[in-house]
Chain A
């Protein structure tokens, strides 16, 4: 049914992603791909995986950006921000209302937005409606696929309770991804959002995303200031070599004083 739920429950399950902590390792990308290929739903397609011309569907991607560089920013050097992008399970999800067949729907009990692959005709209108690029057409299946918030893990009684979280949250080595009920002010995720000032992406679109992003913390000193790097270049009289292993060893031994 592609009208938004008439009687949504209080629960709003979603993710909180910490842009300050994300190191851009893509572990969440790969674990999502693996779970959605080897787990319960129809596998994400992966064509020509070892050569040029790879195609397939992915539900989660990590972009990397440089901010604050140059004259309009903080000066010469900028900061790197790694940005994981996946479905935000919006409250006012246009991808749900535009669907002509009822394949795209938002669950009443927890607000997760899903695609019923038996009904989807692969028209792609939901992808057009999503500003975050959350939906991809699977070239093999001919249906639209998106983040399921690992609905086949979070309620799954067959796996250990610690595993009943989305695969991306479990895989993140930097603890940059968090899962929980954003509507419950006592939950860890809600408290994180309140403490760090979690934001919506593109709020001007009016989709009211459930997932929140924690912005990078302001730095105490600008990047690459001499005070942050240890010895000033003029002191490096005893350096062993200008490059490679020896330069590294030189730096390590300097820092070990």
Chain B
């Protein structure tokens, strides 16, 4: 599948933003959310800013972005529509909670409830994003059961790392949040490795023979079904959109890059930050962990598209899909 920059940007940035909101909600729930105004303003700005930039960027891949509002209407049947509704619904409790946190210096009682609503709406949105891919039976690598948990895991991991770094930079060092960052990064990338192993060893039941209706035709041993003449001399939309493939050897290299850049390096730096006695050193180490972590997720998301194969390519020369 062709990796679309706008969609990759959306899932990574908005995922991180929603993760931050979920972590803020968790902190409010356990009563350990910093009360400083600067912390409140910056963390909500960053979280909602990431979400908004991501949502706007996702409209760039549309043929008619001016009609994007129509995508809210079919929530009864479409995961994309549900994602749109959930994404907009998150702003309301987030804004109300923000009023309490920033202006009224309150994160308890009804504001804690608003925090939980915000966190739930945020994670629901990420769940819907994952289900858009997980519900497509045409792409076996996306139909894999680990896809939706991985979207949630990456949102939590990137969100907790950004939140932890931001709080530390504003003078609020929270140990459990740093631990959450390290452990969620570890868990997420371990899950991702399991996913890669699963898609590499998966078998699917479709072949070119079943695709052109010869699966049970009673013709005897038809053997290989090979393309003879192409249907058209140029690439068409189907080939451009679904025919993108990254070479297996490149895929292996990129997976290792994503894993170590996004996982190994940031985890080591965060553990170093936790172990470091000086607040400044901890903050610097956290800040150093952030760019490779995000870069690793961008590479992972690119591979999520590039390593996915679509059934329609059975008509264009793939033997199994």
Contact = CB atoms under 8 A, between A and B. Distances in A.
A122 B62 contact: yes
- The listed residue with most B CB atoms (<10 A of its CB), out of A63, A70, A74, A99, is A63
Chain B: interface residue count, which band?
35 or more
B74 A99 contact: yes
B103 interface: no
A215 B74 CA distance: 38
A52 B205 CA distance: 37
B96 interface: no
B238 to A, nearest CB: 4
B193 interface: no
A100 B80 contact: yes
A141 B62 CA distance: 11
Contact of B136 (A102, A129, A201): A129
A121 B229 contact: no
A83 B64 contact: no
B71 A123 contact: yes
Interface of B is mostly: loop
B253 interface: no
A98 B84 CA distance: 13
B192 interface: no
A66 B228 contact: yes
Contacts of A69: 223-224, 226
Nearest to A217: B219
B70 A63 contact: no
A54 B238 CA distance: 14
B73 A101 contact: yes
Interface in B193-220: 205-206, 208-220
Contact of A67 (B65, B214, B230): B214
Interface residues of A, number: 74
A149 interface: no
A109 B96 CA distance: 48
A201 B314 CA distance: 12
Given A64-B229, A85-B231, A100-B84, A120 B64 contact: yes
A73 B238 CA distance: 30
B301 interface: no
B231 A199 contact: no
B287 interface: no
Given A85-B315, A97-B77, A132-B312, A121 B67 contact: yes
A54 B81 CA distance: 34
A68 B227 contact: no
A80 B218 CA distance: 16
Nearest to B204: A204
Contacts of A58: 232, 236
Contact of B223 (A68, A128, A132): A68
Given A67-B223, A102-B73, A143 B64 contact: yes
A204 B138 CA distance: 11
Contacts of A102: 70, 73-74
Contacts of B220: 74, 218
Interface of B: 1, 61-65, 67-68, 70-74, 76-81, 84, 132, 135-139, 205-206, 208-234, 236-238, 241-242, 310-312, 315
Interface of A: 1-3, 19, 24, 52-55, 57-58, 61-74, 78, 80-81, 83, 85, 94, 96-103, 119-125, 127-133, 136-139, 141-144, 197, 199-206, 213, 215-216, 218
29 contacts: A19-B213, A24-B229, A63-B229, A64-B231, A65-B227, A66-B227, A68-B219, A68-B221, A68-B222, A73-B224, A81-B214, A81-B225, A85-B231, A100-B80, A101-B67, A120-B64, A121-B65, A123-B71, A128-B1, A128-B138, A130-B312, A131-B138, A133-B242, A133-B315, A142-B62, A142-B63, A201-B211, A204-B205, A215-B219
